Structure 1
Amino acid sequence: MGFRYKKINERKIMCEKNYVIRAKITFLRKYLQFQNSSENINFIFLDETWVYKNGSQVRKWVNENDKRMNDIKITSEGERFTILHAGYKGGFLPNCGLLFSSKNNDRDYHKTMNGEIFLDWVKTKLVPDLDKINGKCVVVMDNAPYHSVLLEKPISKFSNKTSISAFLQKHGIYFSNELSKKELWNLAEPYVQNSSNKKYVVDEFLNSKGYEVLRLPPYHCQYNPIEMVWGYCKTFYNKNIPNSKFTGSEKVLNVWQESLSKITSDMWANYIKHTEQLIIDDWKKYMGNMDIVNVPPLIIGFENDSASDSDTDMPSENDEEYVE
């Protein structure tokens, strides 16, 4: 979850990993800079979630002394459906809803979404709706693998010498043909591990259309108000799906659309207000009253601290880095 143990005065305490702190400060600064700019900024929040055909009833309160309650069998959840949507202070974007049946019932919905489906959704549903919004749009999303398909195929220390040499040549990094593979990798590694050099397919496409992309820091979904929207919608869905007069996939679609209709623009505005207060509070927690416009470089000493979680694309850490 982005934490590690650190020994202080012979005592171990739990603290956030350095790469998470860096990503968090960067996100907080950029969000607040957009918020305080003179432009009319619209933050667009997107995310995926899931529902089950028969609703989720994996647990319920029972009285163990009441045999009648213990005999009650929980209905199978049934087929799982993956959902993708986006919204902003004005409510859900009207044509951005996507709901499709998952091929397996693994509870990790990330395994049914992929970069191709997501990019197609961005091109055919998200961008046409963004084009209708007045003002500048900033798309806020997390670092899920299907959001983070790289524009350029990455190399690693396991790549062959020819691939590493081609990478160095493409990025204008001088090298001698007499160098060994290990020496070539030593030249390429700093560039590869610098996250600012990574180009994502989705980000580049949205940028080409005139839209900004703001990545959430790893493990910090509380900065995305759509998480609270999902909570409300799924509670409504699970409560009402058993009583639906429809059957099959039509039942799922109708009850889910009804749950979305319950979320008003005022509710969206309140959820966004709540998350923005968290952002302001966390900025003050980390940076005090420092001006968000003129943030001086902050030097943080690092131990080797790598990000291995599948929901982030952050690099391995060097001994010392700057947070800008």
Structure 2
Amino acid sequence: MGGLVATRSIGQFSTLYGAIEDMVVGLEAVLADGTVTRIKNVPRRAAGPDIRHIIIGNEGALCYITEVTVKIFKFTPENNLFYGYILEDMKTGFNILREVMVEGYRPSIARLYDAEDGTQHFTHFADGKCVLIFMAEGNPRIAKATGEGIAEIVARYPQCQRVDSKLIETWFNNLNWGPDKVAAERVQILKTGNMGFTTEVSGCWSCIHEIYESVINRIRTEFPHADDITMLGGHSSHSYQNGTNMYFVYDYNVVDCKPEEEIDKYHNPLNKIICEETIRLGGSMVHHHGIGKHRVHWSKLEHGSAWALLEGLKKQFDPNGIMNTGTIYPIEK
């Protein structure tokens, strides 16, 4: 929970329930000088700026989070309704996602996979195609109305082919990894030398498809070790009234380098292309993983003229620069 709040992260059902900043009611934190500060639990207030957001997402660069109070929701998995569609291209999928959100429907899951990323999940029914997935949940009347509304929207696109909902339910039930799968992946990496990483970004509906196309194209044409990439694709998994996220997923064979050199030969250059293209086209370089150390180089570019506000917070809360140095705030040389 602390990591979720500190990185301003998100859960898989965010399209319905919101991100972590929508769930945090109050919290406690310890400042750099040892002061303990508490933000009380109330449903809403207009007593100045919302100071929860100074702490949420600070990644330990301003304070340490010691306690959080969050909203809870009814759990009714028996009401889950699943919908899946095969389609030819990502642009159509983004258009459908946009219509669903703009028309006010809130499925708990709304995902769009491109053909390459989809090979990790859907080759048994959608080989070489994009896949669009929805799950409606909650009160049975709301779930039913949500599902019917989504089906009506997708029906406007005759090129989309619906698949058996049981296929999507099976995918959902096997989506998350436990310790056994994590351990098996480690063995597989050591055996094959094939690594997989992700970089997630976000953008408004007007630019997200261009971000997707530009990133994929630039990696394929400019990355010097493109021949080592075994999979390059992505998916959208968190949507909003005004836009969505994009998870870029890339696997590659580690060739002619030591293990400690792998990140600089492969992941960091790929991450750089994704961040640069996303910012250039008007998106955000990070949707929910936090800035950390590997995206801090673009912090100032990400925030533009608003950087002065973040800089002021650092001076106020950590004047001696002792809090998680090099995270959010780049080290000045």
Same fold (TM over 0.5): no
TM-score normalised by length of structure 2: 0.25
The one of the two structures with greater contact order (alpha-carbon pairs below 8 A, sep at least 6) is: 1
TM-score (norm 1): 0.25
Tell which structure's C-alpha radius of gyration is larger. 1
